[in-house]
Structure 1
Amino acid sequence: MKLSKLVKPLLASTLLTIGLTGCGASQGNSDSDSEKTAGNPKKSENQIVNVYTARHYEADDEVYKKFTEKTGIKVNVVKAEAEELIERLKREGESTQADLFITVDGGVLANAKNNGVLQPVTSKIIDKNVPENLRDKENNWVGIATRARVIVYSKDRVSPDQLSTYEDLTDKKWKGKVLARSSTSLYNQSLLASFIELNGEKKAEEWASGIVQNFARQPDGGDRDQAKAIAAGTGDVAIMNTYYVGLLVNSADPEEAKVGSNIGVFFPNQETTGTHINISGIGLTKYSKNKDNAIKLVEYMTGTEAQEYLSANNYEFPVNPEAKKPELLQSWGDFKSQKLNFDTLGEHNHKAIEIFNKTGWK
């Protein structure tokens, strides 16, 4: 999840070897009967689609399986960090076997676009499935899920009427009570980048400095660990992504499920700029060899069936407005989200890191 994370050579080598093996496979399945695409779908020569993805979720794997069952098109998957996959696409150039690139974070999607490894995708079905604000302006990528970065609080020690904005967390009343993961987290970098875009660098720096002053402890662990620290009484509020709350509430581990049931979700800044959301997106690679199949997969992943499955099993918000949200997400209520171009998250990433370093957010 770290934009500047260095992948260990041995791991990278292993992943690339596995990926090359998977993508080299050729299938001879029957004609596609896929997803209600416009017109009669053409028969794919190889009946495959090759995906490079930085999303490592079982729910995604199940969606690929369902797509294959419906269409006869086999989905070969290479999983690695986003930065590594972008570099691999650049290095492979025209020889790449990758048809689609999937990742989390608007800034990373913008980075892929700016590195010239994607091409525009045109589909009336995709345009119908995904609102314009959740697609790249040049159609180089399409959103497949969103998650909100919210304030999570202890139901025992905090009342929702005590909460209001991200900025309010810098108030002295929260001193020693705020939990967050480290500044190396891409989630936090994009959150601060959104503040830079909406409020300017000075206000963003003041916010980061104020949060550091109110830390219950030095940043440690992932989002789940912040929730567990609330349960342990280390702090009262945390900055977290909503889907982690869903994963905790529905965890097979009784202790995690207990943590999830004892925390509440609050969407900040509803009266001002709105709650920060980030996006997972999918883009067609510049040198895709199976373009028709790739577009069919994007159409399927943005359709109601796949959208509802991802939301019900990974607790992300669907991008397709026709998709029903699971009961847990409905229980949190509707919310207003930030209105900004996701590209700006990448544009302000380096400045966000600079501010984190300056304010002592480790």
Structure 2
Amino acid sequence: MTFRTALMASVAAATLAPAVQADVNIYSYRQPELIQPLLDAFTAETGIATNVAFLDKGLVERLQAEGARSPADIILTVDIARLSEAVAGGVTQAVESEALSANIPEAFRDPENHWFGVTTRARIVYASKDRVDPSEATTYEDLADPKWKGRICTRSGTHDYNLALLSAVIHHHGEEAAKTWVAGVKANLAHKPEGNDRAQVKAIWAGQCDISLGNTYYMGQMVADPEQQAWADSVNVLFPVFENGGTHVNVSGVAMTKAAPNREEALKFMEFLASPKAQEIYAEVNNEYPVAPGAQPSALVASWGEFTPDDANLMDLAKLRPVALRLMEEVDFDG
């Protein structure tokens, strides 16, 4: 065989050989154990492997620095503030997909299709079983009532979770009323804000306060931890509503990066996340609520009760975050 013939044969072989399927590269703010079952299920169904870089901060800045050279295809994160930050930072791209549109309700996706909600969590009230009648805490507005003086505990007012809730108060009642409300909540605090949401439930168990603000999924985490089960057993999960709305919710979400070197595989991953099967896996591991029609929460999550999510547009709330932060600082909530 001449060199020319051999070269032509090798080119033909390369042309006919099946293409090597690319991996999906993910930048994630979620803890490894909270998404691994989902990644395993995706690979089992599609044969596509995943590579994950777990970050606790600086995700947008990293993507901006990497620019078009970024290896990341997907962003997985929590909270509307972080999702909107990624869009505003110019590190995501719009995605058109019938599967995503069908499985992700309009209220839980970006109007421009840059991000899609995967699960939701409610910002609820944990209330002492011994010291609080569940009928006492039915609205968010009620938390500013003087009857709660010295009885409320919460984490920092400038944390994303509380800023999102205050943004919802601004949305429903306006800036002036929201400032009065958050000042009223501060006046009712049992002590200076400190710790995370679970620390507030521990404080209720210890008798330091009677009610706290927290996300629903923390109940699942406490129930699963032998050292924290007693905290969980000491409280009821209550779903307050706005006087003219429902229960405040936030999302975990997914977005495709602007650079996305493996766009086809990344889209398959996003569509898998939107499927009822994946939604139920993700929601159960995270003790959250799936958003896909027909997908069911875990038995544990369902046992906390049903609620009607507030219909405030999450992107509208994200735009109010700077106002919420200013109000928190003006009333010196953490002082």
User: Above 0.5 in TM-score?
Assistant: yes
2:164 equivalent among 175, 187, 190? 190
How far did residue 269 of structure 1 move? 1.6
Q: TM-score, normalised by structure 1?
A: 0.84
- Aligned position for 1:257: 229
Q: Which moved more, 1:270-279 or 1:259-268?
A: 270-279
Distance 1:119 1:48 in 2: 19
Spell out structure 1 runs of 4+ moving beyond 3 A: 43-46
Q: Superposition RMSD on alpha carbons, in Å?
A: 1.5
Q: Deviations over 1:273-324 (max 9, x none)?
A: 2111001110111111111111111111121222112222211111112111
* Cα 1:85/1:44, change in 2 over 3 Å: farther
The aligned amino acid for 1:64 is L
Partner of 1:148: 122
1:51 aligns with 2:26: yes
- Say whether the 8 Å CA contact 1:147–1:277 is kept in structure 2: yes
- CA apart distance, 1:62: 1.7
CA distance in 2, matches of 1:313, 1:217: 33
Displacement of 1:168: 0.8
Q: Does the aligned pair in 2 maintain the 1:59–1:309 contact within 8 Å?
A: no
Name which of 306, 314, 319 aligns with 1:347: 319
Q: Please list every run of 5 or more consecutive structure 1 residues that lacks an aligned counterpart in the other structure.
A: 1-42
* Cα deviation 1:320-360 (Å, max 9, x = unaligned): 12111112222222212221221223322222111111112
| Cα separation, 2, equivalents of 1:191 and 1:220 | 17
Q: CA deviation at 1:76?
A: 0.7
State which of 87, 107, 118 in structure 2 corresponds to 1:113. Answer: 87
Asked if 1 retains the 8 angstrom alpha-carbon contact of 2:127 and 2:211, the reply is yes
Judged with a 3 Å threshold, the aligned counterparts in structure 2 of structure 1 residues 101 and 346 are, in CA distance, closer, same or farther, namely same
Structure 2 Cα separation of the partners of residues 278 and 202 of structure 1 = 24
User: Residue 305 of structure 1: which of 273, 277, 286 is its match?
Assistant: 277
Q: Tell me the equivalent position of 2:147.
A: 173
Give runs of aligned pairs for residues 125-140 of structure 1, distance below 5 A. 125-140=99-114
Deviates more, 1:166-175 or 1:219-228: 166-175
Moved more, 314-323 or 220-229: 314-323
Name 2:210's counterpart in structure 1: 236
2:172 touches 2:244 (CA, 8 Å); kept in 1? Answer: no
**Residue 67 of structure 1 aligns to a residue in which SS?**
helix
CA distance in 1 between partners of 2:105 and 2:318 (Å): 21
1:333 aligns with 2:305: yes
Q: Does 1:61 align with 2:36?
A: yes
Does the CA contact (< 8 Å) of 2:141 and 2:242 recur in 1? no
**Does the residue aligned with 1:138 lie in a helix, a strand or coil?**
coil
Does residue 1:276 correspond to 2:268, yes or no? no
Aligned mates of 1:222, 1:341 — CA distance in 2: 26
Deviation per residue, 1:187-227 (Å, 9 max, x gap): 01111112112211111111110011000111110000000
2:47 maps to 72
- The share of aligned pairs that are identical, in percent, is 39
Q: Tell me what 1:103 maps to.
A: 77
Structure 1 SS opposite 2:290:
coil
CA distance in 2, matches of 1:283, 1:340: 21
User: Quick one: distance in 1 between partners of 2:243 and 2:196?
Assistant: 29
CA contact (8 A) 1:101 1:282 kept: yes
Structure 1 residue 63 displacement after superposition: 0.8
1:246 matched residue in structure 2: 220
Distance in 1 (CA, whole Å) between partners of 2:257 and 2:132 is 47
| Alpha carbons 1:307, 1:320 under 8 Å: kept | yes
Q: Distance in 2 between matches of 1:57 and 1:315?
A: 15
Give distance in 1, aligned partners of 2:87 and 2:65. 15
Uncovered stretches (5+) of structure 2, i.e. residues with no partner: 1-17
- Residues 204, 234 of structure 2: 8 Å contact kept: no
Q: What is the alpha-carbon distance in structure 1 between the residues aligned to residue 326 and residue 236 of structure 2?
A: 32
Maintained 8 Å contact 1:44/1:293: no
Taking the aligned partners of 1:136 and 1:343, their CA distance within structure 2 comes to 7
Is 1:320–2:295 an aligned residue pair? no
The DSSP-based 3-state class of the residue aligned with 1:118 is coil
Write the distance in 1 (CA, Å) between the matches of 2:70 and 2:164.
Answer: 30
Q: Residue 218 in 1 paired to residue 195 in 2?
A: no
More displaced, 104-113 or 217-226?
104-113
